[in-house]
């Protein structure tokens, strides 16, 4: 694949044979951002997981202490008094069956759906549409709940979901290049602590194989996971 001049120049700053400390890696990820806009910083954990085994297909959500720097549109599907709760919490769209019909007709002007349990029977019929897009609400990620106000507030404040791909990789955004290494390190620590806490008991040997961070369209930078905790001290 042919790379642009900016990417090639940024790549020269990264020693591909080196595993950096978390702080060094985050500094480099910010420094090697090649975009004119405020690039996102993403982390990728390669884990010793077999997602085909139910107990190793870990899934959940994390509220990053410094948010992601992104504004996410939230659709809340609920009825009655819950609609006022969702609106007061800052949801972008609130309703019930009419929004399910809109989605069925191809409307997707939202990033996250929060639904009360009573809406899931109707919403479940759109599983083939929402599932592949990662938009189907799930109790494990806190998006199927009666506490819609809390769910909306957490999403607006930087809640991110995690789930391994077919080979056990977990990737997510942990902030923007403008955050700087300190705030990014705090967000990375939150992700690391969560993944360590949900480590399946059936995993044998090393759990984290490797970790890398990168800015949008920037080169990947490998980091030593054992340095993540100390990067926040």
Mean pLDDT within 95-124: 97
Residue 152 DSSP one-character state: H
Read off the pTM.
0.87
Of all residues in the chain, the percent with pLDDT exceeding 90 is 91
Q: What is the pLDDT of residues 59-101, one digit of tens each?
A: 999 999 999 999 999 999 999 999 999 999 999 999 999 999 9
Do 158 and 66 contact (CB within 8 A), yes or no?
yes
pLDDT at 232 over 90: yes
DSSP class of residue 69? S
Taking the C-alpha atoms of residue 8 and residue 45, their distance in angstroms, rounded to an integer, is 24
Q: What is the pLDDT of residue 1?
A: 60
Percent of the chain beyond pLDDT 70? 99
Instruction: Give the C-alpha distances (Å, rounded to integers) separating 202 from 8, 111, 225.
Output: 42, 34, 21
Instruction: Round the CA-based radius of gyration of the chain to a whole number and report it.
Output: 19
Name the token pair of 95.
């309703």
Q: Tell me: the pLDDT tens digits for 134-166?
A: 999 999 999 999 999 999 999 999 999 999 999
Instruction: Give how far the C-alpha of residue 218 lies from the chain's centroid of Cα atoms, to the nearest Å.
Output: 18
DSSP state of 218: S
Model confidence at 2, pLDDT cuts 50, 70, 90, reads low
């Amino acid at each position: 694949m042919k790379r642009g001049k900016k990417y090639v120049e940024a790549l020269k700053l990264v020693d591909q044979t080196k595993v950096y400390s978390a702080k060094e890696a985050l500094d480099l990820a910010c420094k090697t951002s090649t975009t004119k806009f405020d690039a996102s910083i993403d982390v990728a954990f390669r884990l010793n997981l077999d997602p085909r085994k139910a107990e190793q297909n870990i899934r959940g959500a994390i509220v990053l202490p410094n948010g992601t720097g992104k504004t996410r549109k939230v659709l809340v599907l609920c009825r009655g008094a819950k609609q006022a709760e969702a609106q007061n919490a800052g949801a972008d769209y609130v309703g019930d069956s009419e929004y399910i019909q809109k989605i069925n007709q191809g409307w997707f002007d939202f990033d996250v759906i929060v639904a009360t349990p009573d809406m899931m029977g109707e919403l479940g019929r759109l599983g083939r549409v929402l599932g592949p897009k990662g938009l189907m609400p799930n109790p494990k990620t806190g998006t199927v709940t009666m506490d819609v106000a809390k769910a909306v507030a957490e999403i607006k404040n930087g809640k991110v979901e995690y789930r391994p791909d077919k080979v056990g990789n977990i990737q997510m955004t942990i902030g923007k290049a403008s955050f700087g290494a300190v705030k990014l390190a705090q967000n990375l620590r939150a992700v690391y602590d969560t993944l360590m806490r949900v480590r399946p008991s059936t995993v044998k040997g090393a759990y984290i194989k490797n970790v890398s961070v990168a800015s949008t369209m920037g080169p990947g930078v490998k980091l030593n996971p054992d340095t993540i905790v100390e990067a926040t001290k």
